[in-house]
């Protein structure tokens, strides 16, 4: 089994943007439209207010995820843009990215991670719940959208 290497990158770097475009295309295929209309500013993913990470497998970028601050207290992080290339799925990439994102948020003083996903992402829901995430009241851009599922967990 190949080793997964996680690297901190700029949200607007070419490698991150390529993976984000693939993530949005995947969401678009599941839900229609552009995939996700949530307003996102690359500056939100600059430490210490956030971070963006890319997973490499055999030297190739195959997954990503990041966190940005949520709320005014500075204790909550929101998980954004989690994605694994279909060719790399089932190899632990998403779990490695999730663990690295959580570790980064914790190192920057965040005590809780929250996320939005949808009911057409059963593999994501299964991963999050197996990682200890529990349903929370919906929040964010899609809080009133049918099929929105929000989760959170203490870091």
Q: Please state the rounded mean pLDDT for residues 111-129.
A: 97
pLDDT at 1: 55
CA distance 90 to 142: 28
pLDDT tier, 79 (very low <50, low <70, confident <90, very high otherwise): very high
pLDDT tier, 34 (very low <50, low <70, confident <90, very high otherwise): confident
Q: Which domains does the chain have, with CATH numbers?
A: 4-111 (3.40.630.30)
Nearest Cα residue to 35 out of 43, 46, 27, 23 = 27
Indicate whether this model's pTM tops 0.85: yes
């Amino acid at each position: 089994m190949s080793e997964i290497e996680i690297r901190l990158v700029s949200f607007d770097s070419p490698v991150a943007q390529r993976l984000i475009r693939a993530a949005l295309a995947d969401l678009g295929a599941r839900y229609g439209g552009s995939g996700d209309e949530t307003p996102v500013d690359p500056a939100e993913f600059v430490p210490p207010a956030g971070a963006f990470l890319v997973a490499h497998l055999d030297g190739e970028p195959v997954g990503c995820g990041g966190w940005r601050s949520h709320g005014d207290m500075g204790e909550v992080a929101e998980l954004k843009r989690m994605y694994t290339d279909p060719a790399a799925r089932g190899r632990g990439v998403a779990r490695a990215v999730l663990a690295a994102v959580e570790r980064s948020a914790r190192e920057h003083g965040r005590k809780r991670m929250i996320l939005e996903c949808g009911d057409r992402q059963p593999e994501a829901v299964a991963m999050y719940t197996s990682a200890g995430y529990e349903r929370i009241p919906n929040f964010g851009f899609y809080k009133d959208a049918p099929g929105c599922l929000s989760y959170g967990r203490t870091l």
